[in-house]
Chain A
């Protein structure tokens, strides 16, 4: 299934949709549209979901007496055997500490670890692997930028622009750093399509703006932001852009040079890699100017009693023994994903996203958050929703217990967003390329049963 090297494609431009603001919440008859289908999704051939499922052993089990239907991929993805094997291989044959060792095992571990870094760089089209810093996860990567870049660059009165739909990990570190530096946080609200108001954002950018922090794909709304445009507007005033790509890197082609992002973060565990590792992409010139985040071994050059000198990036930001095996596992995940092809994955998931949205619309009294799909608006393959008069936690519990369907209920680390939407919690089903149409069918069937059960009780 080798598709060759990942193709660079433009990110989706955000244009005003043809949908009028007064449209009902869910147009049942919206025109089914789909991006041009790549070969594997054509009629008659096996879908990507079916062809990749065998690679994921965890999917083939029963929970609570029913077959597992795993629809919580936005929380974490499953790992193919190739990744599991890479981890096992590492620990069984060449586990050793990296960078300073002389002996054979250590050299091999170092090689593989640095090769993983190169793979990450190539995967997102960074110009050099030194622009990739391995962290514990995306959250740590954002904290790194906040404490390192933020503390040394932000002055009182400087502004940081975020959207109210940001993940807590993209908000809280900046709240902390803003308090210390006297910078001000400003939040962009949602427009009538329930996506962050890009025009409002554009209007907020001024000479006081030093940083714009935005998600690429929203983990609640399923919307995609026009990062290229945002970067252009930000750079025009000398501001930097930090892109939270946790929900985009695993699902579509992401090209940091094409986006011209200054910082970009993602987590391994959401992209079929192991937990415990993530990365920060930072432009070379930015990283070179940044002071250390965590201090310790590996990130130093020389250590004296009264002072130390520091290593060059990326080592400067990688204190202590890293998650070596896990980074190598991430490399294996990238190999696996590249083997399929991110464009192919994206196309398949677009199909599935529309199918999910369409089927969910058929559930009575359902309210799906985020934009309605249309010619211009593409949704990610996830839907956060509420069913009238039924608490999402009740839905999720029953779906799990009676049908083996795994979805999430809660605020999905987006409390400000939920507050804006006027709800305490929502349910969320999120797909990945190893899900199938049958998964969606089973989900909808189970959801109907669940809703009937709770409604019959009123």
Chain B
């Protein structure tokens, strides 16, 4: 099946959409694909021992681009107080929500403060949001979601798992009850998007799957500095099996090239390149390639001083552009400066 497809991501997105829609009990007739497909989700590290707080995160590439930007921004802000300021800044710049939309149907349940969210589609069936809240921190959270999700296709919005909140680093800054409000905000936004889509599709009678094709096809996987794991959808054939220990035994040709390039250009004091392609062996995206598709890179270099997280990652992608064009599927990057490493 995969041989007939042009690029890797659309398959996965279609599969994900299938699972998502299926889990929301939509009659099969409206589903764009009726065959059942199983696929593996990709863990980026070996699973930690089971803790109450461990969550498996969905890959960043599946999140809407603006949301990824927001996440990176929050990750680069370390101090909690500054995170609040950032959050409030978002809230401040949120477009006001007209009073007529502050209805019961638009109110987010389970919020200690009052939050309203309004959703509408444009003619391409991208969903747009507006929101408001009487609490500035909650308004900030709402703004974060509004900015991150607006203008995106419904399917993409539906795919979002709320675990990305961990990546923001706000989870510690926000109490569970507020986090629940965040969760409920996202759920409401997803529910509204779906409802609008169903309405729209009823209206024009198409099966509405045109938007899937171009999303995030070239976005490489980015790893935050915190432990992250990939979300496991229910009903999909994937076992959270042990992924084995780090085995850097013998990098293949690509792995060696990556290592050499990074050594040459960044003069790192520490560099680890790990081929984890085997973890993705069952993944539809790599079927048909010759391995060497997924790598973990840990690099400590002075070159990163003064550069934000985003810039560091962009630098590395830039250096490895040729590899990315020729079959390197994803990089999981930890990029630090020497002083950051010493500060531990």
Contacts and interface: CB of A to CB of B under 8 A. Distances in A.
A400 B84 CA distance: 13
Contact of A394 (B85, B92, B136, B173): B136
A433 B81 CA distance: 32
Given A397-B174, A398-B84, A424-B113, A457 B138 contact: no
A56 B294 CA distance: 53
A425 B175 contact: no
A453 B135 CA distance: 14
Given A402-B81, A424-B114, A397 B175 contact: yes
Given A424-B134, A454-B136, A410 B88 contact: no
Given A393-B135, A457-B85, A457-B88, A410 B112 contact: yes
Interface string A392-417: 01100110111000000110000000
Nearest to A454: B136
B178 A397 contact: yes
Nearest to A411: B112
B89 to A, nearest CB: 8
B137 interface: yes
A453 B87 CA distance: 13
A144 B145 CA distance: 46
A46 B175 CA distance: 36
B32 interface: no
A425 B80 contact: no
Contacts of B137: 391, 393-394, 397
Contacts of B178: 393, 397
Contacts, number: 46
Interface residues of A, number: 17
Contact of A457 (B80, B92, B135, B175): B92
Interface in B69-91: 80-81, 84-85, 88
Nearest to B85: A457
Nearest to B91: A457
Interface in A53-105: 64
Instruction: Give the one of B81, B85, B135 with max A CB within 10 A.
Output: B135
Contact of A409 (B81, B84, B112): B112
B8 to A, nearest CB: 42
Contacts of A401: 80, 84, 173
Contacts of B81: 402, 453
A453 B84 CA distance: 10
A157 B325 CA distance: 82
B113 A393 contact: yes
Interface in A405-458: 409-410, 424-425, 453-454, 457
A413 to B, nearest CB: 13
B92 to A, nearest CB: 7
B138 A393 contact: yes
A457 B112 contact: no
A448 B136 CA distance: 17
Nearest to A390: B136
Interface string B127-139: 0000000111110
The 5 A-B pairs with the shortest beta carbon distances in the complex, nearest first, are A391-B135, A393-B112, A393-B135, A394-B137, A393-B113
Interface of A: 64, 390-391, 393-394, 397-398, 400-402, 409-410, 424-425, 453-454, 457
Given A394-B137, A397-B137, A425-B112, 12 more contacts: A64-B172, A390-B136, A391-B135, A391-B137, A391-B138, A393-B138, A397-B175, A400-B175, A401-B84, A424-B113, A453-B81, A453-B84
Interface of B: 80-81, 84-85, 88, 92, 112-114, 134-138, 172-175, 178
11 contacts: A391-B134, A391-B135, A391-B136, A393-B135, A393-B178, A394-B113, A394-B136, A397-B137, A397-B174, A401-B173, A424-B114
